[in-house]
Amino acid sequence: MKPSRAAMLAMVGLVAAVLSPAALSTAALSLISLPNSDRPSYDFHNESCPNLRQMVHDAVEEAIKEDIGVVAGLLRVMFHDCFPQGCDASLLLSDKFWSELNMPQNNGIRRNAVYLIESIRVKVQDTCGPTVSCTDIMNLATREAVMHFEVPGYEVPLGLLDSRAPAPRENVEQLPGPDFNATQLIESFQSRGFDITDVVALSGAHTIGRSSCGSFRNRFGENADFVRWLQGTCARNPNHLQDLDVTTPEKFDNVYYNNLKEGKGVLNSDMALTRDASTSWLVDGFAQDQGWFFSQFGTSMRKMAHLPSEFGRNGEIRKYSCSWANLHGPKGPTADLAASA
């Protein structure tokens, strides 16, 4: 017997109360909104860059008109940046010798999302000077992309600083993989302070976006018509990029969860949500109630934006490019290499 809507909400409240980290408690979050502080706050840039949110909004809307896929790109950029060591734009750093973008976990990240963040940085710095970090721009741009689909807005802390170096390899390797089962997903997310409801809600980001055949090749051989169809598609074109939502691939909605119930989830980690009792009831609930999914997605993204950075107040605001730290100067790390040759 499926739990009622009221029972579902009660269970969500209980899980959140038990598993939410102290850093995300009401008392802790209230500190982040204190004005006149050098600590992050929701209104951090109100005086230094009053038109920041409008500039980000306009740039994101224009990018969406050109390519709806930039939404999926921004979501993945934010998640893959924040999960390893907190939100610090370390993912955006590009170096000939070491870059998170070159790791297998980040294969397929849409470069148009990376370029969009950089283009916004240029506009913001032209208007406000070097007062807004790439991290703040990344988080705001992702929020605007999600809100484009009428997902309720969620608060993101502003005044975060950018890291001076990429995240350690071992941190990036802790990103949850497309072949994970439900237990692995839950343990991975709980290591960052997320609960089971967050796991299922954030997986809903797969309502938009695409994945390479290599991400679900481990499923080939399953005795299911949908998997055989996936296998045949990839056999005909090994470079095929598969829509993760096979029904409404260009809409941010709850159809992804209905697809899972019909056995049409693309990744193993997607289908795993239907095979575990601790997650399957949430799949059912989000499939039945898009409003609940949207509300919970915003709540979970707020948690993501609040993941503490290991750099804390020891980072910087990148002045020359989101792709390199300030120590490399205006011409970037390639100039350093040329000078040392």
Question: How far apart are the C-alpha atoms of 189 and 311, rounded to whole Å?
Answer: 21
Q: Is 148 designated active site?
A: no
Question: How far apart are the C-alpha atoms of 49 and 42, rounded to whole Å?
Answer: 13
Give the count of beta carbons closer than 10 Å to the beta carbon of residue 178. 20
Sign of CA dihedral 212, 217, 218, 221: positive
What are the start-end ranges of the H helices in the chain?
5-19, 26-31, 52-66, 69-85, 111-128, 134-147, 169-172, 182-190, 196-203, 225-236, 255-261, 268-272, 277-288, 290-305, 333-340
- Contact predicate 60/113, CB 8 Å: no
Q: 3-state secondary structure string, 186-252?
A: HHHHHCCCCCHHHHHHHHHHHHCCEEEHHHCHHHCCCCCHHHHHHHHHHHHCCCCEEECCCCCCCCC
Question: How far apart are the C-alpha atoms of 216 and 222, rounded to whole Å?
Answer: 11
Q: How far is CA 165 from the centre of its chain?
A: 20
Q: List residues bridging with 134 in a β-sheet.
A: none
Please tell me which residue in 45, 80, 306, 328 is annotated as part of the active site. 80
Instruction: Tell me which residues are annotated as active site.
Output: 80
